[in-house]
Copies of this chain bind each other. A is one copy, B any other.
Amino acid sequence: MQNCGYAQMYTNTNMRLKLPITCFILEIILIILFGVLVEYDKETDARKWHHSNHSEYDNDFYYRYPSFQDVHVMIFIGFGFLMTFLQRYGFSSVGFNFLIAALALQWATLMQGFFHGMHGGKIHVGVESMINADFCTGSVLISFGAVLGKTSPVQLLVMAVFEVTLFAVNEFILLSLLGTKDAGGSMTIHTFGAYFGLMVARVLYRPNLHKSKHKNSSVYHSDMFAMIGTLYLWMFWPSFNSAITAHGDDQHRTALNTYYSLAACTLSTYAMSALTAHDGKLDMVHIQNAALAGGVAAGTAGEMMLTPFGSMIVGFLAGIISVLGYKYLSPILESKLKIQDTCGVHNLHGMPGVMGAIVGAVTASLATKEIYGDGLIQIIFCLGFIMKLPIYGAPSDASCFEDSIYWEVSSKKLLETSKLCICPQPKKHCNYTIGYVNVHLICSRQFQPLDVDLEPHHCVLLACGKAAFPNEVSI
């Protein structure tokens, strides 16, 4: 009952050198490459801008920056808090989201700049590159959702570097070579991010993940925090899909279509959530995720003349498919295909993304297999094996979904996890680890065994007794 072996399991998860070395090397490489390759675009550079003759108000900043800020909120608050639903992985969810997003947006600026066409050997940056970099970052965060709780921050940084690179290649093939239109990124962002993450999750499959199963769930307040993420994603999805479309009616229409798609999706999500529960109770997992599927599905076709009518049908169906995925497909993915998809990104980004691509009447997606061959898949599997090298400090099976491996966690958060502990001897000092709390007791008299059967994780109890008068410490 005492966690004597914990120290051992944790030894390799010490990030004292691994994380700083990785961060410093990556950031220094980035700074050098930015120094060599990056310069302001013509709307951002003082000389270039003032060289031509226009009003200051014509600067694209005024027509793109509000959209950028909305997207930025989706990346850092939306994705970050959506993943805080886990009961004791909140620091990691929002904190690692923060870290890998900060890396990915820098790396994406370089990779996308490289593929989008350089100007005299230079990558030009401005508000449009900022939005594109945030988009690419979104894709990495979707993949993060699939492996949430099972990786170290160093693994995530490695994944981000690879994924951003492949994202830029994929985007280049789809948008530049095939001429696909995909402003909201149903394909380039959501489908790519989801299947990338799922493949990584497949390679990192943990047969003994049930050891930390009790932590792979939510508590009341963690679900409330996750709703902050959900709502920001939901509210700003019209900005996301329209951020990079052509100015004027295009941008206006995309926002409008997405707005209706999401509204219809929300109603079908609530309906399906109640319908698929045996007692008709709504499931927070569905509300937090499936209600967003309408935004994903409207990503490709959102800028077209889809009409509000068409958008609502798309959203309506996306909500239904997504809830069904969470309910029936996710368990199959885990048991049959050995894909442990923590956040269910297949249901939120995968299927609705494919649906969005089909709605966009994009045959490109069908041609994908021919173009890529198996090259992309092989690269991802390579990445998976790189990520499996025992050098990153990944958590043990029993310590997945657990903040305290990588974060200083206040001992005050003591009540949500529990263990039944008993004093082995009277008059002895003894230490217990309950969740991640160390409790130190001195038993005063004779020990009396407990004889209480608890539902798993319900209660915590420390008993430390004298013969006639026991003292209890509740946590």
Contacts and interface: CB of A to CB of B under 8 A. Distances in A.
A235 interface: yes
A82 B454 CA distance: 36
A473 B454 contact: yes
Contacts of A38: 307-309
Given A280-B14, A448-B469, A474-B472, A30 B264 contact: yes
Interface string A323-345: 00000000000000000000000
Q: How many copies does the complex hold?
A: 3
A49 B475 contact: no
Nearest to A470: B469
Given A98-B231, A220-B90, A31 B312 contact: yes
Given A127-B252, A268-B24, A282-B406, A312 B76 contact: no
Interface in A13-66: 14-20, 22-24, 26-27, 30-31, 34-35, 38-40, 43-46, 48-50, 56-63, 65-66
Contacts of A161: none
Contacts of A221: 221, 413
A190 B68 CA distance: 26
Contacts of A14: 279-280
A212 to B, nearest CB: 15
A473 B444 contact: no
B439 A31 contact: no
A329 to B, nearest CB: 19
Interface stretch (A102-110, A168-176, A203-211): A102-110
A270 B153 contact: yes
A168 to B, nearest CB: 17
A239 interface: yes
B31 A102 contact: no
Given A252-B59, A267-B102, A412-B457, A130 B469 contact: no
Contacts of A409: 220
A368 interface: no
A86 B138 CA distance: 32
A274 B16 contact: yes
A227 B274 contact: no
Contacts of A59: 247-249, 251-252
Contact of A217 (B61, B256, B410): B410
A280 B250 contact: no
A411 interface: yes
Given A62-B62, A219-B412, A282-B406, A455 B469 contact: no
Nearest to A92: B282
Contact of A274 (B15, B72, B255, B260): B15
A472 B429 CA distance: 21
A415 B256 CA distance: 44
Interface stretch (A139-147, A178-186, A283-291, A384-392): A283-291
A408 to B, nearest CB: 5
A228 interface: yes
A471 B461 contact: yes
Interface in A399-449: 404-416, 429, 437-442, 444, 448
Contacts of A43: 249, 252
A224 B84 contact: yes
Interface in A95-141: 95, 98-99, 102-103, 105-106, 109, 125-127, 130
Contact of A458 (B275, B437, B442): B437
Given A39-B307, A217-B410, A467-B468, A77 B44 contact: no
A218 interface: yes
Contacts of A19: 270-271, 274-275, 280, 282
Given A231-B77, A282-B407, A270 B23 contact: yes
A249 to B, nearest CB: 4
A347 B85 CA distance: 32
Given A102-B262, A231-B76, A472-B461, A440 B415 contact: no
A280 B17 contact: yes
A196 interface: no
A103 B105 CA distance: 36
6 contacts: A16-B277, A16-B278, A26-B267, A49-B249, A90-B224, A99-B266
